[in-house]
Chains A and B, each alone.
Chain A
């Protein structure tokens, strides 16, 4: 037990006033509500996790196929399938409480400022919700999602409105599909965001050589996986050097070394997405590998890496 505590202490980080045992956070949309992973390992070893993106109303999402494989990555066009915030509060959160005992991150999407505000304020009242992650960056829905995240004025408006209606720390998840990520980041910081997470997926597509048609029914989708890591790292570096609020780095992380790179680029914590889908033990393996990799590079604690 003593050894375990020492290890935890090496890995622990602060995320907006809440101590995480380690910086590893499964990203929204790749971890459901955690139940499938709790079959395989005790998910309480995670720093926390960001649960499936929630909208005010139930959504089925996009037609199939929603998934395409790429070299060192994948494309998804799920389209925010979720049972709606009322169902999440009535069923998913109480079920989650049985196998996850830490503060959880509530990921929220919407199609209007009002929807974002309503969904966030409902989840804000839930005891287990430690942070709200505002997804203004989903590339797979029309008339909402990413359209808020590509325009500084629209981003600012939704962040300001949500910030006024919640008490929990508000993290804003940004899309990389913009010409200037820094201007968006600064806009959401000025609007009152407590933190920023990035990157969401990069818009991409594949074509089936046999049918000559796009593999994804929705034609385009969000590209993720190890191939996007250098792009994500670059944007995390740019944003964390430009804002004064904590940044969560994500995009293609698939090893303990990637986690360390992200934190060296300025991330206070990291989210891990696609890796969970190809190896359901990915986050567990990364947490377990961190101390050894830190030893190799003379890193005593993760806190010494993160400037924020």
Chain B
């Protein structure tokens, strides 16, 4: 079982969109105003009710500060496409404070953050919190190609050491996050979020302990339906409630 897990109570409230802008062709950054008090920290997610869709959309928190919530998402299906076209002033019914989030005390003296594609946003929130604690933070951001890169400047502005990798070599180091020079350097701990293939590569090649943030099709998003349960070493965990962050030593890659 996880040691230090955030245990906040979830909350349902209405948020108002204040800004919705494209970061790349398919990645959007939505800023909203509302009650963020249930959000305990980075790695958590919110679950959004969209008009015309039955199930909510789980989206990771890219930032929560005061009454401002930032959600950065990729338009990958009908729901996120609708979200990408929403305008300032529109309101959304959102469940906040979902999931365990990253365990900050595990970071040690020099943590490494590894993000792939739309797995990058929750790491920006994490980097901000780790920098607040005065830690040096190294970041590897992996993308397919140069035009898909986003948030590099934001990580650098926080004072992180940043290395970008692209699969086609059009920018930064050619290859995946595990090909980065920073990945080979010593780190106390790692935090990662990205596509499953990337998570598996990090799991196999990493030389220190760390945490992985998972994505899964969810029913409720708050632990009631067992729609997203995965097997772990000592039983099972609901990605929405006991995750989405799992520690390296508890992960099983089946199921």
Contacts and interface: CB of A to CB of B under 8 A. Distances in A.
Interface in A13-30: 29-30
A67 B217 contact: yes
Interface in B217-241: 217-220, 222-231, 236, 241
B231 A60 contact: yes
A179 B119 CA distance: 48
B9 interface: yes
A78 interface: yes
A32 B219 contact: no
B228 A280 contact: no
A72 B51 CA distance: 11
A67 B223 contact: no
A78 B55 contact: no
B10 interface: yes
B236 to A, nearest CB: 6
Contacts of B9: 39-40
Bin the interface of chain B by size: 20 to 34
B1 to A, nearest CB: 14
A100 B16 CA distance: 35
Contacts of A68: 217
Given A63-B255, A64-B230, A78-B225, A70 B54 contact: yes
Contact of A81 (B95, B216, B217, B236): B236
A78 B226 contact: yes
B49 interface: yes
A76 B223 CA distance: 14
B228 A72 contact: no
A211 interface: no
Interface string A47-91: 000001000000011011111111111101010010000000000
Given A37-B224, A78-B227, A280 B95 contact: yes
A36 interface: yes
A232 to B, nearest CB: 16
A19 B10 CA distance: 32
B85 to A, nearest CB: 19
Contacts of A5: none
Interface in A230-279: 276-279
A29 B217 contact: no
A225 interface: yes
A281 interface: yes
B219 A76 contact: yes
B253 interface: no
Interface centre among B12, B217, B241 (most CB of A within 10 A): B217
8 contacts: A36-B220, A60-B236, A64-B230, A65-B216, A69-B53, A74-B219, A226-B54, A277-B219
Interface of A: 29-32, 35-37, 39-40, 52, 60-61, 63-74, 76, 78, 81, 215, 225-226, 276-281
